[in-house]
Structure 1
Amino acid sequence: MASSLESRIKFQQIFWFGVIGICALMIGFYLASNIFTLAFGIIAIAWLFLLPYHANLSAWLSLTTYTSALILPYFPGRPYLWEFAALLGWSGLIILISLRKFSPDAGEVLRRHRWLFLGIIGYCVVLMITMFYRGVGLRIIGSDQMGGRFYFQQFSCAIFPILFILLKINEKTLLKLFIVQCLLTSTFFVSDFVFASGKAAGLWFILNFFELPGDAANFERMAQMGGIRRYQSLNIVSQGLIFLILVFHNFRDFFSRKGFYLVPLTILFFSMGLLSGHRYLS
């Protein structure tokens, strides 16, 4: 009796191992035949293994890459890394709550700022009503309408306020992450200059990893027609450099001995932004 039971269990094990092996071979074949499927498979596996760290990864990625040109490579729609970080935040929130790893005073902070979250809920309701009456679509999934990316950004990023409350990142860490954010504005230099001159040099593959500034295509078209070339990245990077100065120096330093180099340096960065062709630095 025991031997028949053991043989049945072994048969079931062999059967399921065989099914898993065949599925693994099929998945491996399809992944190797399509680079987009391969990228999606790698991201899905990494997503699963890093599930306990999604909340922290979401906070760090969103804070450091919000003003950068870094995108999710070879992914339809060219989403920014901070957009991907917002999706990590939703799964990270579920893990934080289920494992009870959130900050002990998170409930008190939520009650203290309840009107903020009620405002977020109201804003999302307005967006849903607008989507219902005006329609919305995503071109990456074959829709004839456009504009869905904006709504996707708004809904996905609605997780950040509650996520930051549950994590409770200390001020020193926030400062370091903001410094990295300012430095990563320089990534727009890469995409902007590659777009302007990379075709001849064979560098356009780099644009699979970096997004272009919003007016890059218009500026390039104007350069071909009128001969005057402008780089919007100068505006973005100059803002990051000015913010770096304000992080390390307070307003009083501009009227002290440090002002001898702070004032010219700030004017230099501001002038660099004006060379981009924008009427103002936002």
Structure 2
Amino acid sequence: MRFSMHSTLFDPDALPFRRALIAGIACVAAVVAGAMLADQPYLIFAGLAGLVYVGTLTVNCRALAWLVIALQPAALIVPFFPGRPFWWELCALLAWPSLLAYGLVNRRKIEVVAFDRAERWALAALGGYVAVILGTMAYRGVGLRIFGGEQMGGRVYVQQLVLSILPVLMLLAGFSQKQLRMAMITGWLLSLTYIVSELTFARSQDMAPLLYFFELPVDGLNFSTGYDASGVRRFGSLAAVAGAGLSLLWVAAPLRELLGRWLLVTGPLMVALVGLGLGSGYRNVFASAICTLFFLAWVQRFWNPSRVISMVLVGAVMVGGLYFFAKELPLSVQRSVSFFPGIAISPIAKADAATTNSDRVEVLKLAIADSPKYWLFGRGFGMDRFDRLPVDDPNDSVSMLYSQGMFYNGFLGTLLKLGVFGLLCSLLFVWHVSKIALQLGLLVRRRTPSEWSFFDRVCLLLCAQWFAAVLLFYLTNGDVTWWMQSFGLLAGLLMACRRLKQDEGFVVDSDGVPKASVTA
């Protein structure tokens, strides 16, 4: 056969041409990297990381999803990056092109996914929520001060849009039960990183550079600077660690064992973890633990008359001990339990808590008075400095809370930020994901508690955490800037776990409701 230079070496579709092109690019890249290595080593490493990411674009969805779950509870941030984003947020951002490439290359696999009715409704509602955010951005403007704009707060827009991919990512990642279990355990353990950041900020100036890599807990800076004014030393990291510890404890065994034959061990441990969380000074730590435990008992069918009586008696003894020893507790813990009527605590902790209570009432009044102005088109997340405050003094604590969107009511908060359409879309999403959570609970309860695996108990805990998060967000929290962080990943985990349980052999209808188990 006659050799053809054009058909072999210079043909773009020929294998020798591709090899020569790749070799040439590699040689040029090696020369450039060698020349830049001494002056800009970080840029070289970033380029290599980018090359690895692009090379694995169509297959790294599962890895990114695993990292999102594992890193979400951690304090790890991307160093030297504007806005101090978390690593798990960066993974969510990288998931957008990965899912696009995955969908283009694996269209048949995407078609096989076949979302059921509840998933379609939930994702459609989430799409409507994203559309409302985009419309609000166009109508109100985006506040990104890093580009020299007059507004601030635009980071929330970017954050919510980026994290809106999480439910789809979790559904398409194709986890196994073991992978999902290990990701969640890793995340609970990584919550300890918040202690590193807070202790570094509070105690060690020599280790201050660590704060380029670790983020402070929510309000961590305010807690530190407010210590001189209030006298109450609060550590927000304790809330994160306590929540992770309680989660690990609650999935270790069914509640009927934890609060039954193991009560003498798990009871004091549970109380100790809640007490540790109260050291943050957050009163909602107590509320969150009680609500999650209540819903966990509900989804596990723990309640019966004898257990109700036993738990009431145990609770009465604990509350009585709290009233008796309240003044001996640290000031931050005293602040956390200040909502108990008639409890005797330090005047310092009582005054600090009372100030917060009065501020919340005033913020709610402002939100109610201002809602007619923004009921159709919300005021958005980006804003000029204090330009939309319905008060004369923009420097008091009430005005600061109002400007930051801390309305302490999820309905009012969503209405004011995103208008009635944003509120309706968010409620529709929550409603259908709640149905998915109930269906997941039904799938797990097809087996008896003695047959539940570790993954089954994780599924039930996720259900309980979902219902507790919904209740507390819409009744007490209301900070819409955290809506996607609060519900996006948790909703995706519920959807993914339900898929895994369905794959175990349960027959479900078009809504995902289990009908009967498949027998061999």
TM class, shorter-length: 0.7 to 0.9
Aligned mate of 2:193, from 187, 206, 209:
187
Q: How does 1:202-241 map to 2 (within 5 A)?
A: 202-225=206-229, 228-241=232-245
SS of equivalent to 2:60: helix
Say which one has the larger Rg: 2
SS of equivalent to 1:137: coil
The answer for unaligned runs of 5 or more in structure 2 is 11-19, 289-520
**TM-superposed deviation, 1:43:** 3.8
Higher helix share: 1
SS of equivalent to 2:69: helix
Bigger mean CA deviation after superposition, 48-57 or 177-186: 48-57
Alpha-carbon distance in 2 for matches of 1:218, 1:63: 28
Aligned mate of 2:283, from 272, 279, 282:
279
Q: How many residues align?
A: 274
**What is the identity, as a one-letter code, of the residue corresponding to 2:113?**
A
What is residue 58 of structure 1 aligned with on the other side?
64
Q: Is the 8 A contact 2:189 2:244 kept in 1?
A: yes
What is residue 113 of structure 2 aligned with on the other side?
106
Bigger mean CA deviation after superposition, 53-62 or 117-126: 53-62
**TM-superposed deviation, 1:86:** 0.7
Q: How does 1:162-201 map to 2 (within 5 A)?
A: 162-199=168-205
What is residue 121 of structure 2 aligned with on the other side?
115
Bigger mean CA deviation after superposition, 250-259 or 17-26: 17-26
Structure-2 change in CA distance of 1:103 and 1:97 (3 Å): closer
Q: Deviations over 1:78-104 (max 9, x none)?
A: 111111111221122123223328467
Are positions 1:251 and 2:255 aligned together?
A: yes
Alpha-carbon distance in 2 for matches of 1:103, 1:176: 25
Q: Is the 8 A contact 2:62 2:175 kept in 1?
A: no
What is residue 74 of structure 1 aligned with on the other side?
80
Alpha-carbon distance in 2 for matches of 1:127, 1:165: 23
Alpha-carbon distance in 1 for matches of 2:123, 2:260: 42
**TM-superposed deviation, 1:46:** 3.5
Give the structure-2-normalised TM-score: 0.47
Q: Deviations over 1:92-150 (max 9, x none)?
A: 2123223328467402x256621111101100111011112221122344433222221
What is residue 242 of structure 1 aligned with on the other side?
246
Bigger mean CA deviation after superposition, 66-75 or 159-168: 159-168
Structure-2 change in CA distance of 1:214 and 1:112 (3 Å): closer
Alpha-carbon distance in 2 for matches of 1:32, 1:147: 38
**What is the identity, as a one-letter code, of the residue corresponding to 1:63?**
I
What is residue 144 of structure 1 aligned with on the other side?
150
Structure-2 change in CA distance of 1:110 and 1:148 (3 Å): farther
The answer for unaligned runs of 5 or more in structure 1 is none
What is residue 385 of structure 2 aligned with on the other side?
none
SS of equivalent to 1:93: helix
**TM-superposed deviation, 1:223:** 2.7
Give the structure-1-normalised TM-score: 0.83
SS of equivalent to 2:204: helix
**TM-superposed deviation, 1:227:** 5.0
Bigger mean CA deviation after superposition, 120-129 or 19-28: 19-28
Q: Is the 8 A contact 1:32 1:38 kept in 2?
A: no
**TM-superposed deviation, 1:48:** 2.2
Q: Deviations over 1:33-79 (max 9, x none)?
A: 45764564344234223324320121101111111101122322211
RMSD after superposition: 3.2
Structure-2 change in CA distance of 1:245 and 1:19 (3 Å): closer
SS of equivalent to 1:120: helix
**What is the identity, as a one-letter code, of the residue corresponding to 2:208?**
W
Are positions 1:87 and 2:93 aligned together?
A: yes
Alpha-carbon distance in 1 for matches of 2:240, 2:23: 54
Structure-2 change in CA distance of 1:102 and 1:144 (3 Å): farther
**What is the identity, as a one-letter code, of the residue corresponding to 2:204?**
G
**TM-superposed deviation, 1:248:** 1.3
Q: Deviations over 1:170-205 (max 9, x none)?
A: 333222211111111111011111111121xx1112
Alpha-carbon distance in 2 for matches of 1:22, 1:249: 58
Alpha-carbon distance in 1 for matches of 2:243, 2:176: 25
Alpha-carbon distance in 2 for matches of 1:130, 1:92: 27
Alpha-carbon distance in 1 for matches of 2:172, 2:28: 43
What is residue 157 of structure 1 aligned with on the other side?
163
Q: Is the 8 A contact 2:58 2:105 kept in 1?
A: no
What is residue 270 of structure 1 aligned with on the other side?
274
